[in-house]
Structures are given as C-alpha cells and as structure tokens.
Amino acid sequence: MTLRIGNASGFYGDRFDAMREMLTGGELDVLTGDYLAELTMLILGRDRLKDPAAGYARTFLRQLEECLGLAHERSVKIVTNAGGLNPAGLADAVRKLADRLGIPVRVAHVEGDDLTAALPQGLDGLDSARPGGTPKGVLAAHAYLGGFGIAECLRAGADIVVTGRVTDAALVTGPAAAHFGWQPGEYDRLAGAVVAGHVLECGTQATGGNYAFFGDGDVRRPGFPLAEIHDDGSCVITKHPGTGGFVDVGTVTAQLLYETAGSRYAGPDVTARLDTVRLTQDGPDRVRIDGVRGEAPPPTLKVGLNRLGGFRNEVVFVLTGLDIEAKAALVREQMSGALSKSPPAEVRWELVRTDRADADTEETASALLRLVVRDPDQEVVGRALSGAAIELALASYPGFHVPAPPGKGAPYGVFEDVYVPHGAVDQVAVLDDGRRVHVAAPHDTVVLTDVPQPSLPGPLPPGPTRRAPLGLVAGARSGDKGGNANVGVWARTDEAWRWLAHELTAERFRQLLPESRELPVTRHLLPNLRALNFVVEGILGEGVAAQRRFDPQAKALGEWLRSRRLDIPEALL
C-alpha cells in the first residue's frame, strides 16, 4: 500500500498556483505546504505585534479559496505549517472559508510550540549559550515539534491540519504515521519518512530548481515533487507527469545535503542516519530511497528565538569610470565625520568591483561602494547618517550618484537556537470538534554524538592534472542554519568521489573560500551519497534576518566554491 504525498510550497511566497497544479496534475493522497523559515517567523512576529489576530501565512487562505473544492472532490488531505505563530487563528479562518464556500471539511490544528509567553519567567532546563539566560526583546520563541500531533488529527478524521512551528519533515512523517499506523519507536520507518520529508520540503529544489547541473534538463518551470511512501519507510521521489524539471539521483542528493550537517539528522521523533541513505534511479523522474536507519531522538527540543537586534541602514555609492579606488577613498574620508559624531556599533564598507575597463555601457563601467551601519539606537543610523551621504551629492567625486536615497534606519532581526527538555513542551492536537489530545513526549532518547568518520575510498592513481573549476566534476548546494552555513558537495561518479574525498579537506575548503579561513569548518563524509558536507560556523553572523553578509542565507556559497580553480586529474575532465 502506497501513500502519495505531494508538496505545493517550499517557502512563504512560493508559486501561488502550485496548489492547483498539484491537485489537478495527478494522483495524490496528501498535499503539504511548507511556509515557515527562520526569517518568516520574524516577519510573522512583527505582524502579530501590530495585530494579535495575525501571525499566519495569509497566502495559504487565498490559495485554499481556489482549491478547497478540488481537494474535497479528490479526497486529498491538506497538511500545512502555514499557521505560523497562530495556528488556531488560521484553523478558524479555514472553517469560515469552508462555510462560505459550502464545502464540508473537518479542520484540526496542532499547538504547543509557542513558548514566547514562558520566556519572561524562564523555562526550566533552558540551554542557551548566551550568558545570563534568555535574550531580551524576543518576538517569538517556538519549539520544533514532530509529526505525531499531525497524526492524531488525521486519525480523528481531519481533512485539513494546520500547524505552527513543526520540523519541515513532520509534514510528511505525520501523515505517514497516521496512514500506516506507525507508533513512536519505529525508528527506521520514521527515519525513512523524515528523509522523504526533507527532500520534499523545499518544493522544486528536488525537481531541478537551484540545481548545480541545471543544464541536464528543462528547469524553466519545474514541477513540484511528490513521494510515494511505503509501509517500511522507503519511498520513491517523483513528480506529476508532464510537469517541468526532472528528478534524478543528483537532484535528490542536492536536496538531501541542503541545510544538514553530519550523519545524524536529529528531530523530535527520530534521529535519521543520513549515512545509511541509498539512492537508486528507478526510471525516468523516479528516484528510490531506501536503507534509511533511525535512532531515538535527542533528549531536547530545538527552540527558535526571534528577536529585534537593532537598526540597520545602508548607502550604496556608484563609482564610474577611472580612479575607482581614489573615489572610494574620498567618500570614506568625507563620511568619517558623520560616523565619528555618534559612532554606530558596527560600520562596514565594501567596494564591489563590478566595473570593467573600456566598458560599452555606463553600468558595466561602474563599481559599487556599500556602507552598512548597525546600532541599537535608530537615531545613530538614521537621518543624520543619511543626510550626511546626501549632502555629498554636489561635493564629492565626479559622477556622484546613489541608486536609491538612504532611509531612516530599519529594524533587523536576530535568530538564535536554544534547547529545552521534551517535557517543557505540551504538544496538543486540537480536533475539529474541539477535543484536545495531548501528545506524549518520546519515551526513549539518546544524547547526540558524532558518528565515527568512515574510511576514505582508495585514492586515484597519479596522473596529469589541469587547473580547472571544481564545478566541472562536483555539484554543490548550500544554505543557512542560524549564523552557520553548510555546503554539501557531491561527485557524480565513483572516480570523481575517490579524488574529491582526498582533495577537498577542511583546510582546502578554507583556502578556496577565504571568508571561512578564520572560522571553524567541520567536514562530514557521506560515502553512500558520494558527498562531503561542510559546516562553517559563524559566517552568517546572527542569521539571515540580521543581513550581515552579502548573501545572508549562504544560497550561493556552494556555487562560489564550484567556481574556484584547483588541480583536477585530466582523467576526470
């Protein structure tokens, strides 16, 4: 018996008509939608400050208005974390929508993840690296729940299940546990569903979107993925017939490496062993995943804290033509007076050399000088600084202009992970009839430890080499987890893997990406995937909402690595 689970959203703002495409494009049992990310929780937290009834992804309601009838006709259940900070509010809104449309559906929701109210008094067992306990100014604090609350809702007959902050994979493990009757402790089955959920969670990233070797297929409009899940936890990743993009071992490998780290992928219900995953091409646009082993989850739950970090302002000066370095030096000297009167806590200058000599357009003859300032006080980064920049309009370098006038300083957010014991969280499935079912914490837990590093494959025999980009023989995908970034790198052949495993050490990684040279870099081996996963600690500062880095989510860090040149055996090229 197979359970077909599809995905129609990888983030808040994803393709609006994906829900209709998935409901009309082929057979489905369950349709999931992932709307939450670290930055999204901050955005929803700010929404809730303005309106206590807000805090959920309103896009989901608009999609459902078009598609609720389709889902009802096709008996497709919908499971989504679009509830964000207010799952009960979204569940009520869905019921009102269904009543207005005259469609009989049962709506349930999962709550218990919101720990914000508990923070002023503190949480017993709160594990935070921050001295003095919980940070101030927290807008939202939410535990990452597992899938058994969702399973309780579905077992009670819900047609639509709304959650707040659950793990992304819980949107798949919950329906699978309900359908197959899995219980806590069936770790291998649950781990298989976690892996399937991780592949589906980012939507079209599993079907050729953002893929290193995008030239292998037509990715102009990739279809959304689905998983055919079996009772033993194995699955096949595929997509609806006739939709764009493609599914192969490479696209699935890329997504498996996205925002993961070592061999143990911990969650609230199970720790999945990524080093046991086996991928097999099972036909066109079909990849089988099996062999996944699971272990008891860790004794603590991850909690995401989102808080206001202060205020940020930015000025971009356009420098055109000759004497770029001298022009940049002049601006920095002219701005030094304004910056020294009330020095911001952080000042960053970056000269981006997008210019080229003898250019045939003004834009390609221009470089960008970026000034970014941050401070807890909006006045320090606000009008005084912006005014000083604008006052240079007729008194600075030749060709002075800015793409847009600077503002008065905007708030920025900070994301931080902390951990609490399972017992600090009361997960509750709120059924359509109002009954509240409390979901028990895991009976068994195991403290996470590193898996011993596997043996390296035998090296390639010596031979001639050529200086060339790493990306000719390896794919990569990168992403963010708080202030850290991960870069997953994989080889497409056994020979390339033998070379990659020996060549791309943590030290070589630091050499290739100088921004990481002073930071801790950890390398993890995943031989089954012919992959290496690197974790770079602190490269993103305080997380995506702080926007401390040019690429604040490290989305392109892997592509930068692939562009770097090193000596590659000619046999691989």
- Are β-strands 107-111 and 160-162 bridged in parallel, bridged antiparallel, or unpaired? parallel
Look at 383 and 81; give whichever has higher pLDDT: 81
Q: Tokens in use for 304?
A: 């995401």
Contact 192, 291 (CB under 8 A): no
Does the domain spanning 310-413 belong to CATH 3.90.550.10?
A: no
- Mean pLDDT over 438-465 rounds to 94
Q: Which residues of 253-276 are buried (b: 16+ CB within 10 A; e: fewer)?
A: bbbbbbbbbbbbbbbbbbbbbbbb
- Mean pLDDT over 282-309 rounds to 95
136 band by pLDDT with thresholds 50, 70 and 90: low
Give pLDDT tens digits for 6-28. Answer: 999 999 999 999 999 999 999 99
Look at 137 and 174; give whichever has higher pLDDT: 174
SS3 call for 508: helix
- Mean pLDDT over 353-363 rounds to 96
So what's the pLDDT on residue 182?
98
**C-alpha span between 448 and 91 (Å, rounded):** 35
**C-alpha span between 123 and 372 (Å, rounded):** 36
pLDDT at residue 134 is higher than 60: no
**Average pLDDT taken over every residue of the chain:** 94
Q: Report CA-CA distances (Å) from 375 to 5, 185, 319, 372, 383.
A: 46, 48, 27, 11, 13
Give pLDDT tens digits for 35-78. Answer: 998 888 888 888 888 898 899 999 999 999 999 999 999 999 99
So what's the pLDDT on residue 139?
83
**C-alpha span between 475 and 489 (Å, rounded):** 6
- Mean pLDDT over 424-446 rounds to 96
Contact 246, 237 (CB under 8 A): no
Report residue 315: phi and psi, to 5°. Answer: -125, 135
Which residue, 327, 318, 371, is CA-closest to 347? 371
**C-alpha span between 387 and 213 (Å, rounded):** 46
- Mean pLDDT over 205-227 rounds to 97
- Mean pLDDT over 205-229 rounds to 97
So what's the pLDDT on residue 384?
82
**C-alpha span between 268 and 258 (Å, rounded):** 19
Look at 405 and 16; give whichever has higher pLDDT: 16
Q: Tokens in use for 307?
A: 């808080």
- To 5 degrees, how large is the angle CA 167–CA 533–CA 33? 25
Give pLDDT tens digits for 511-567. Answer: 999 999 999 999 999 999 999 999 999 998 877 666 677 888 999 999 999 999 999
pLDDT at residue 129 is higher than 80: no
pLDDT at residue 245 is higher than 80: yes
131 band by pLDDT with thresholds 50, 70 and 90: very low
Give pLDDT tens digits for 80-100. Answer: 999 999 999 999 999 999 999
Contact 26, 51 (CB under 8 A): no
So what's the pLDDT on residue 128?
47
Contact 30, 77 (CB under 8 A): yes
Which residue, 440, 448, 416, is CA-closest to 266? 448
**C-alpha span between 538 and 340 (Å, rounded):** 28
- Mean pLDDT over 274-296 rounds to 98
- Are β-strands 427-430 and 410-421 bridged in parallel, bridged antiparallel, or unpaired? unpaired
Helix 187-200 and helix 170-180: axis angle, to 10°? 140
CB atoms within 10 A of CB 521: 18
So what's the pLDDT on residue 135?
53
So what's the pLDDT on residue 551?
86
So what's the pLDDT on residue 121?
52
Domain span(s) for CATH 3.30.70.360 in the chain: 310-413
So what's the pLDDT on residue 133?
46
